[in-house]
Homo-oligomer: A and B are copies of this chain.
């Protein structure tokens, strides 16, 4: 039986994050000691590891909820999980394209900066005038 702190260490999660996952129903309410402290078993360890791994792969908590649900029903057909993963892959690919455009633009800004006064700063100039950009990075966000 693991304390919440031990579970946190084993999974590389913060204690508060575990409680947060419980609060939003992603983790089940665990057993408690007489004094009211949470105690976890292997099932919870596996489930949290699954969640953390999926988060590392960029899945949203909503998608993870679906994946966990599928994982709980071994006889369901698998194409739903496949769909979720493909959707995630598509999003990652789109982000990659946008980020590459950003990199190009930032590299150019930095390369062309002559190091004088801000009045002549290439970085600020490019920011001031969008038409100086070679790539399309609209909607690029983070």
Partner-B contacts on A (CB < 8 A): 12, 46, 49-50, 53-58, 67, 70-71, 73-82, 84-86, 88-89, 92-93, 95-96, 99-100, 102-103, 105-107, 109-110, 113-121, 123-124, 127-128, 130, 137-142
Q: Tell me if B110 and A89 are in contact (CB < 8 A).
A: yes
Q: Tell me if A75 and B119 are in contact (CB < 8 A).
A: yes
Q: Tell me if B89 and A103 are in contact (CB < 8 A).
A: yes
CB < 8 Å neighbour of A93 from B57, B73, B103, B113:
B103
Q: Tell me if B92 and A127 are in contact (CB < 8 A).
A: no
Interface centre among A71, A79, A120 (most CB of B within 10 A): A71
Q: A75-B118, A127-B54, A128-B46 are in contact. Are A85 and B100 (CB under 8 A)?
A: no
A118 to B73, CA, bound (A): 7
Q: Tell me if B140 and A71 are in contact (CB < 8 A).
A: no
Q: List, in ascending order, chain B residues with CB within 8 A of A102's CB.
A: 57-58, 92
A110 to B93, CA, bound (A): 14
**21 sampled A-B residue pairs with Cβ under 8 A:** A12-B138, A53-B128, A53-B130, A57-B127, A57-B140, A58-B141, A71-B127, A75-B117, A76-B118, A77-B115, A78-B113, A78-B115, A78-B120, A80-B118, A81-B113, A82-B113, A85-B106, A85-B110, A88-B106, A95-B99, A142-B142
